[in-house]
Structure 1
Amino acid sequence: MLLTGAEILVKSLLNEGVDTIFGYPGGAVLNIYDYLYKYKDKIKHYLSCHEQGAAHAADGYARSTGKVGVCIATSGPGATNLVTGIATAYMDSVPLVAITGNVSKDLLGKDSFQEVDITGITMPITKHNFIVKDINNLQETIRKAFFIAREGRPGPVLIDIPKDITSNKTEYKDLKPLEVEPKSKHITEDVLAEVAKYINESSKPLIYAGGGVINANATEELINFAEKLNAPVATTLMCRGAIPSGHRLNTGMIGMHGSNASNILATRCDLIIALGARFSDRVISDREFINNAKVIQIDVDPAEVNKNVKVDSFIIGDIKVALQRLIPLLDDKKNQEWLNTVDDLKLLAVTKNNNDNGEELTPKFLFEKLSDMDKGDFIIATEVGQHQMWTAQFFNFKTPRTLISSGGLGTMGFGLGAAIGAKVANPEKTVFNIAGDGSFGMNCNEFATAVKYNIPIKIIVMNNNALGMVRQWQSLFYEARYSQTTLDRATDFVKLAEAFGGVGFRVEKRDELENVLNEALAINKPVIIDYRIDSDKKVFPMVAPGAPIHQIINEEDLEC
């Protein structure tokens, strides 16, 4: 069957199971968009306000489902506008395929109108990228791109297609997607036995669980593993929801804004078991505590093993498979003395700053209300900043893939697009975007996208008239010199919501919150809630940059 490159692309996407694309058209992708129009009954296209919003929406779609998210942009500025979204997906191991158009082959390398070397630009932030210069390679390139995005450690792949490739014709055959198998060839009996020996000899183990657990769909195995060992579980931001917040072994987040319990346990354990976690600088800080314990690492990506921390033993391979084969080799443990220590330290989890004495609006008050209302169908997207950390600390996550947040890159402006993608992928779920007023200002134009398609996401702007996290650092480490972090904007978020065609609410008193949330949930439209908090509210606990993980700053320390 002789088809144009544009039709081959669209039919190949259908073969990969794609039914949703986020994008923005332009001259270099007109042929592709013409076929998207012809196949609009099979692939739903969402027109974003900005290409970055399309990339974040595809990312949110992927994180909330485990499927590959797809976005498309034209050449030049359209392609470069995807870069931040691609980098965000890369840092958090999100399966994404970004498709860009380019000028025709004869115009490449000549500084042509809207030409840019997008494969060169994105080489450091993709698992792989392609420029298709021969139409005969197009179909196989698409199949490879989806395979690479999904296999092993997931990540973004970019396909750049010159315009003449989309109009040329070649033979097309219906081909099945390349099959992805869990990586297990290095999970041998010998390595399993060695790791099991370390675990069985331990009396104070700590499980350090990262986003790789969720990527591997290994959350059930994580819980079984923890319960067999009676070992506390400290999670990274990317792993929130992998074990329910209320589980007896969950000690909360670890790292710079981790719980007192998780951070102190990391210095008192005799074995750290890292599952799908990369020992990032925001978790381990100065690495001093690693010297106090043996370290085991299980990860699908061999590049992560011994990269940031020297380990005593490791398993390279799919975490789900590794845990399924490892658990039968482990002794059932009581570890009662260790568990008593865990329970004692968990009582330190709430500091004075996070208590809710008085009538002011606080982050904890908000998230307790949201947690009470969640019947297991809430997905929480976030922007980046204080509100992101409060979400991770205070919301009662019950299941995986319910926190959609930019961890590695820390992309302000991520949450709104991601919430749109998550809601499109999960129409039966209630999707919130928790934002700061600074982050929301980055990409608030995407609220128009939500209104256009009536995607009824609920945005809560934690409005403190400041770039809160940067202000917090200035308060603690720069003698309160608030350089360019007080926003002083006259933006009325209620009117902004209405101007875009949505619904706006404002909460200034505690007794208003529950009614506003109930009203927002009852409205089948996009909603913005302006939630006013004090600009000096800080995120605690906190570990100063570069300080040992157990040197924790709590609010009461500042009052001394």
Structure 2
Amino acid sequence: MSRTGGDLVVESLTALGARTVFGLPGQHALGLLDALHRSTLRYVGSRTEVNAAFAADGHARTTGEVTPLFVSTGPGALQTLAGLQEAAASSVPVLGISSQIPSAGLGGARRGFLHELPDQQASFRDVVKHTRVVRAASQIPSAIAEAWRIAASAPTGPVWVEIPQDVLLGPAGVPVVSELSGQPIVLEIRSELIAEAARVLADAQRPVILAGGGVVRSGAQPELLTLAEKIGAPVVTTFGGKGAFPWHHKLSLQSWLEDWHTTEVLQDADVLLVIGSGLGELSSNYHTFQPRGRVIQIEADLGKLESNHRALGIHADAKLALRALIPLAEQRDAVVPELLTKVQQRLDGQDLTLERDVLASVRDALPDDAPSFWDMTILAYWAWSAWDPRDGAMHSAQGAGGLGYAFPAALGAASTVDGPVLAVSGDGGAMYGLPELATAKQHNLNVTWLIVDDGGYGILREYMTDAFGAASGTELARPDFVALAESFGIPAIQTTPERLRTDLADALADAGPRVVVLPALLRMFAPTHLEHR
């Protein structure tokens, strides 16, 4: 068979270093899927497009690599938007490649093609970093290399390429793609800003570091540890920055960002060094944080630089900036506030034994180096603050906050991880991912799915009860999750808080997909004093 535009797509991705593609077939995208079986790329097909986008997200977070996503035109493409919004909010490099209607229908005229939109590309412009519509087969390698480079350049994030059906099915017209470069653009360090940051830190009496997801994405954990120890600065990590700093280090103030004691420590710093965070809603205790000292902000996303607070803004990748700052920083002794003791005293004053025991059981059951993926559920809200990631990354949908992230994202990670992966959902979020039980079984992906079943949207139930005195629209009819999983051929068990540690550990120790269901009504801790609301 002659090579097609679809072959150019897979040849380009292979030349750029891709290994796995996620997606879903569709009428206009058949040229992409047809070319896949002539390539060395592994294909993992999901059951809905939004879950395919979440799976690509999970793979990209786990590998740190640009991850391709294949979908079809119109409804298929549009269903990826929630997943791509999460990827954009969390700076995850997903490369979406969508088909389009035949070229004759492009340009706004209504030709009556199936799945036709007047301007499909417009739906993605405000969600992803970059969009492009390919018009000829010869454009495909350069368009994909351009998109790959943009996705991989700091701040990393999703991109979108559309290719008409006739271009995908038509002749390639150019030789086989053997070499292609998608090297990311490096943010150059401005030495005068680094020198000024060192000067400001040298004069600090109470320096504190707030480390965000940018530290993790750039692999700057060693540099952060070196700098913190050199200048004696305690470190708070954001929810997205889990794993940026050792949890039990003497300088670690962990991640209790919703507790006012942490907010006070950040506010009281005479110099607050913010690395890889935009100080958004969740990182600022819902915008109650008001710094009283100087702020230095190192941020790769130019749009987030000084977007919430005035600072000495340094537009830079975290790793490169910290490397430049370390030799200029002055050695000093550490002064660590008694923050964690106060946080624990507040927790001890609330009736939260069940919640703390459940989270401890999950942590004990999960191997230290295993990654975990968390949906927007009460146990995940606990984990944002209290989870010690150890050597395994913690990922959640806290970037955009959509439901249904955990299980499909964990499947994406499991396609590349040698070992168990944990997904945690509530029963409400789990309903979004049920079709992917078929994906897990078909590809024998090593994911254990913990479903905490409280009969509804638990966190929304709490929010509405607190705000209005009662909840409405939050109670859910749901299936027998154990029987449902078993109908897919996946072993499942219903557990109790007392047996959770053992049952979950056993599930994680077995190869292949597993489901563990915990019926439990969990509550959130009181995060802060009411007078600070």
| TM over 0.5, shorter chain | yes
Distance between the aligned counterparts of 2:413 and 2:449, measured in 1?
13
1:460 maps to 2:460: no
* Match of residue 437, structure 2, among 432, 444, 447: 447
1:69 Cα deviation (Å)? 1.5
Asked whether the 8 Å contact 1:64–1:404 carries over to 2, the reply is no
Give the equivalent residue in structure 1 for 2:368. Answer: 376
1:287 Cα deviation (Å)? 4.8
Distance between the aligned counterparts of 2:323 and 2:290, measured in 1?
27
Specify whether residues 519 and 340 from structure 1 end up closer, same or farther in structure 2 by C-alpha distance, changes over 3 A only.
closer
Alignment of 1:60-459 (within 5 A): 60-108=58-106, 109=108, 110=110, 111-116=112-117, 117-166=119-168, 167-172=170-175, 173-184=177-188, 186-188=189-191, 190-255=192-257, 258-285=258-285, 287=287, 289-311=289-311, 313-336=312-335, 339-342=336-339, 344-345=341-342, 347-348=344-345, 350-353=347-350, 355-356=352-353, 362-399=354-391, 402-426=393-417, 428-459=418-449
Asked whether the 8 Å contact 1:252–1:261 carries over to 2, the reply is no
2:121 is paired with a residue whose SS is helix
Distance between the aligned counterparts of 2:288 and 2:59, measured in 1?
38
Give the equivalent residue in structure 2 for 1:494. Answer: 482
Distance between the aligned counterparts of 1:234 and 1:447, measured in 2?
37
1:142-181 Cα shifts (integer Å, max 9, x gaps): 1101000001200101110001111133213422323225
Asked whether the 8 Å contact 2:364–2:501 carries over to 1, the reply is no
Asked whether the 8 Å contact 2:207–2:233 carries over to 1, the reply is yes
Asked whether the 8 Å contact 2:358–2:497 carries over to 1, the reply is no
- Compare 66-75 and 279-288 and name the one that shifted more: 279-288
1:23-68 Cα shifts (integer Å, max 9, x gaps): 11111111121111222xx111111111111110000000111011
1:419 is paired with a residue whose SS is helix
Give the equivalent residue in structure 2 for 1:557. Answer: none
Specify whether residues 346 and 490 from structure 1 end up closer, same or farther in structure 2 by C-alpha distance, changes over 3 A only.
closer
Asked whether the 8 Å contact 1:211–1:277 carries over to 2, the reply is yes
- Compare 512-521 and 4-13 and name the one that shifted more: 512-521
Distance between the aligned counterparts of 1:367 and 1:286, measured in 2?
24
Asked whether the 8 Å contact 2:374–2:395 carries over to 1, the reply is yes
Distance between the aligned counterparts of 1:349 and 1:96, measured in 2?
41
1:529 Cα deviation (Å)? 0.9
Distance between the aligned counterparts of 2:389 and 2:351, measured in 1?
18
Asked whether the 8 Å contact 1:254–1:283 carries over to 2, the reply is no
Asked whether the 8 Å contact 1:242–1:399 carries over to 2, the reply is no
Instruction: Output the TM-score relative to the length of structure 2.
Output: 0.94
What amino acid does structure 1 have at the position aligned with 2:383?
A: T
Distance between the aligned counterparts of 2:351 and 2:404, measured in 1?
26
Asked whether the 8 Å contact 2:359–2:379 carries over to 1, the reply is no
Distance between the aligned counterparts of 1:301 and 1:236, measured in 2?
16
1:437 Cα deviation (Å)? 0.7
Distance between the aligned counterparts of 2:69 and 2:340, measured in 1?
46
Asked whether the 8 Å contact 1:3–1:171 carries over to 2, the reply is no
Asked whether the 8 Å contact 1:354–1:364 carries over to 2, the reply is no
1:219 Cα deviation (Å)? 1.1
Moved beyond 6 Å, runs of 4+: none
Pairwise CA RMSD of aligned residues?
2.0
Asked whether the 8 Å contact 2:47–2:436 carries over to 1, the reply is yes
Distance between the aligned counterparts of 1:447 and 1:351, measured in 2?
39
Specify whether residues 260 and 227 from structure 1 end up closer, same or farther in structure 2 by C-alpha distance, changes over 3 A only.
farther
Asked whether the 8 Å contact 1:353–1:538 carries over to 2, the reply is no
1:344 Cα deviation (Å)? 4.7
1:285 Cα deviation (Å)? 5.0
Distance between the aligned counterparts of 1:135 and 1:497, measured in 2?
44
1:127 Cα deviation (Å)? 0.3
Give the equivalent residue in structure 2 for 1:556. Answer: none
Asked whether the 8 Å contact 1:260–1:349 carries over to 2, the reply is no
What amino acid does structure 2 have at the position aligned with 1:443?
A: G
Asked whether the 8 Å contact 1:22–1:54 carries over to 2, the reply is yes
1:243 is paired with a residue whose SS is coil
Specify whether residues 170 and 77 from structure 1 end up closer, same or farther in structure 2 by C-alpha distance, changes over 3 A only.
same
1:238-296 Cα shifts (integer Å, max 9, x gaps): 111111222222222254xx345422312322121110101112332575643412111
1:471 maps to 2:468: no
Asked whether the 8 Å contact 2:447–2:513 carries over to 1, the reply is yes
Asked whether the 8 Å contact 1:260–1:348 carries over to 2, the reply is no
The gaps in structure 1 that reach 5 residues or longer are 357-361, 553-560
Asked whether the 8 Å contact 2:8–2:141 carries over to 1, the reply is yes
Distance between the aligned counterparts of 2:377 and 2:500, measured in 1?
22
Distance between the aligned counterparts of 2:340 and 2:490, measured in 1?
46
1:491 Cα deviation (Å)? 1.6
Asked whether the 8 Å contact 1:379–1:429 carries over to 2, the reply is no
1:482 maps to 2:480: no
Distance between the aligned counterparts of 2:500 and 2:281, measured in 1?
37
Distance between the aligned counterparts of 1:286 and 1:449, measured in 2?
37
Distance between the aligned counterparts of 1:349 and 1:246, measured in 2?
20
1:301 Cα deviation (Å)? 2.2
Instruction: Output the TM-score relative to the length of structure 1.
Output: 0.89
Specify whether residues 353 and 437 from structure 1 end up closer, same or farther in structure 2 by C-alpha distance, changes over 3 A only.
farther
1:518 Cα deviation (Å)? 3.2
